[in-house]
Chains A and B, each alone.
Chain A
Amino acid sequence: MIQAEMAEMADAGYTTADGRKIGGIVMEMKNITLRFGGVVAIKDISFDIREGEIRAIIGPNGAGKSSMLNVINGFYHPQEGDIFFHGKKRRSLKPYQIAEQGTARTFQNIALFKGMSTLDNIMTGRITHMKTNLLDQMLWWRSAEAEEVANREVVERIIDFLEIQAIRKTPVGRLPYGLQKRVELGRALAAEPKLLLLDEPMAGMNVEEKEDMSRFILDVNDEFGTTIALIEHDMGVVMDIADRVVVMDYGKKIGDGTPSEVRANQAVIDAYLGVAHD
């Protein structure tokens, strides 16, 4: 066991082209297979996510990308394969337990609490950091109040960071799509996650909104050192912001490497552009 940890320490990451230091392996997926009845959504996939990197998962529709994220996040439990978190094998956990371990996520089809204000939505992201018990909260004792205030400060900083001060009190159901995406990112950030999972953060956005979102993702990674795994369709964006890319097609991994490596990979080109069948 100690030897394995030593080996991992020795394998202490790499430096990116723009000079960011990438650390050791945070999460490792080993031979993951996920089936729904007879349908195989993920076939024997292995890859790792390193500390501080932006790891993209790309692939055509139905390739199993979202399923992969759901496996990491605990919504799905793979039939085969193991997940290692910080070198330790992760047992089968519920999504809320995985959230408690420091994994936050956003969803492809925004999953905000629509009736609640922006502020309240982002406050829910702090739940894993709030420890007062029910009785304290009911009687509104000092500990509960102090905790509420302290967490509120964190949330206000995130609101500043994402430049959404103007919509703090607006019920999120009334916000335009691009802003909802941003609030959802805020809620995930509020958890101060060690690993941030983003499921198509830029889907359905216009160019300007995409640029904003890319900037926020890069800033989060840069300022807080958050490890990010994201799914994205827009190849341009992926090539710009990702450090390493996993390419999936029909539930299988067909490529893994830096954006330029992946772009040169024949299997990837075939999957995206199609191959002539004789």
Chain B
Amino acid sequence: MSAEFYFGVEVFLNGLMAGVMYSLVALGFVLIFKASGIFNYAQGVMALFAALTLVGFQNGQIPFAHLINAIFGTELHHFGWHMPAFLAIVCTLLVMIAFAYIVEFLILKHLVNQEPIILFMATIGLAYFMEGFGDLMWGSDIKKLDVGIPQGGNFWLEENTAFLGGDNFYGFYLDNLDIVAAILAVFLVSGLVAFSQYTKTGRALRAVADDHQAALSVGISLRTIWVIVWSIAGFVALIAGIMWGTKSGVQFSLSLIALKALPVLMLGGFTSIPGAIIGGLLIGVGEKMFEFLIGAPYLGGATENWFAYMLALLFLVFRPQGLFGEKIIERV
């Protein structure tokens, strides 16, 4: 086999890894969309907010320090302690659960039975509010996130695959972070699927997704379910925030990864958890391979920016329900 072939394989593997990262974000969307029919525009900002909060806890930042300083003329910024990563993650999770309660109490409760577009608009408002709130609470500077996940190329893999492609090939390069992300994603998805299949609350989640009135009539409280769903989505946002934050720093642009999740959802379908994963992988692999095989040699490169959206557009035309979404059949 030529070195060229192995480069292709490497691109493929890296595509898979990039896809996992997209899937992590898409997963949060699917969870909320399934249970409440809301397309949660704020999912990306939730990931940003979770990452900001995590860094804040770890470094012992004082929340709203700038605001307090501005009002009282003080010079506060840090508590002066460093929280261990695990404890910080638990605290952040608690914050995300509190956030779910607040969203339900302040927004969702008042918008029951409203049109989807109204709920969508509400989440846009929520997204921008949270963005500002996150800045106000933790400051707007770019932060480094390190919870002990290994980063950089995996030497073991590189050394043990170097013999494959002759002199010009130095072995497959895969980032450790991406490998960790992939493993986490596998656990996360199997956990979520098992939870929704085999537990009372999981069944209640699916029931609410299917029919609100029927769910109420068997004794399911919609509000409780919504808090649970938003908490789980918050948890997924935290994982996505950790992975993306570790990769590229915690900064505003993190909230824009939500946009990359959109084509993933078009492919996988808005209502399928496995679909979100496979959609993410397809997009990741597709854009990397397209760039490698067609984009770079013939189109002048930089096709990664638009490939995913083009693919989504094709899907919208030929298979609007996505690969795994439920086909909508209206009986006439």
Contacts and interface: CB of A to CB of B under 8 A. Distances in A.
A71 interface: no
A187 interface: yes
Given A104-B218, A125-B218, A137 B201 contact: yes
Interface string B195-220: 10011111110110111011111111
Contacts of B211: 111-114
A87 interface: no
Interface stretch (A9-17, A26-34, A43-51, A91-99): A91-99
A134 interface: yes
A137 B201 CA distance: 8
B156 to A, nearest CB: 33
Given A113-B210, A124-B207, A187 B326 contact: no
Name the residue among B194, B203, B217, B221 with the largest chain A CB count within 10 angstroms: B217
Chain B: number of interface residues, binned into ranges: 20 to 34
Interface string A129-155: 010101001101000100110000000
A147 B201 CA distance: 13
B313 interface: no
A114 B204 CA distance: 13
Max chain B Cβ within 10 angstroms of own Cβ: one of A111, A120, A147, A148: A111
A62 to B, nearest CB: 20
A94 B214 contact: no
A127 B206 contact: no
Contacts of A191: 218-219
A67 interface: no
A130 B220 CA distance: 11
Contacts of B202: 137
A231 interface: no
B228 interface: yes
A161 B201 CA distance: 26
Chief secondary structure at chain B's binding surface: helix
A74 to B, nearest CB: 8
A95 B206 contact: no
* Range for the number of chain A residues in contact with chain B: 20 to 34
A123 B199 CA distance: 10
Contacts of A96: 216, 219-222
B203 A114 contact: no
A244 to B, nearest CB: 24
Interface string B210-248: 110111111111100000100000000000000000000
B187 to A, nearest CB: 13
A113 B207 contact: yes
16 contacts: A94-B221, A96-B216, A107-B214, A112-B214, A113-B206, A113-B207, A113-B210, A113-B214, A113-B215, A127-B220, A128-B219, A137-B195, A137-B201, A137-B202, A140-B199, A148-B199
